[in-house]
Amino acid sequence: MSPVRRCSRTACGRPAVATLTYVYADSTAVLGPLATYAEPHCYDLCAEHSERLTAPRGWEVVRLADASGPARPSGDDLEALANAVREAARPQERAAEGGGSRRTDPMEVARRGHLRVLRSPES
């Protein structure tokens, strides 16, 4: 078992819950969930220090997720996952129907590479 990572702030021994990364080109400080691995140019912060984080004047702080609890998927996330599963099953259906020839989806309005524009179900 790996040791518990501690807050990077001087004299703070609390367990880390978030990782801070600086994007110097954009003058942005990015605070997100604790990274899987400790990186050399990132700073692990405890809950208290991550909540009180401020950036230098002219910089922006981007908080990617609430570090106090696990992130929960939204309804949009779940719908996107369900659509991806349906899409993954489609090539098998198409191959069985038309001998592998490409058929157009009646919901598909346009296509550009791997991206598709779909008609709204209500229309």
Of 36-40, 90-94, 115-119, least confident by mean pLDDT is 90-94
pTM for this predicted structure: 0.51
pLDDT tens column, 46-55: 999 999 999 8
Over 60: is that where the pLDDT of 9 sits? yes
Residue ranges of E strands in 15-76: 18-23, 28-33, 42-45, 60-63
Residue type, 25: A
Residue 26 has pLDDT above 80, yes or no: yes
Tens digit of pLDDT for each residue in 61-87? 999 865 455 556 677 777 888 888 888
Parse the chain into domains and list their residue ranges.
Answer: 1-71, 75-118
Report the pLDDT value the prediction gives residue 65, as an integer from 0 to 100: 65
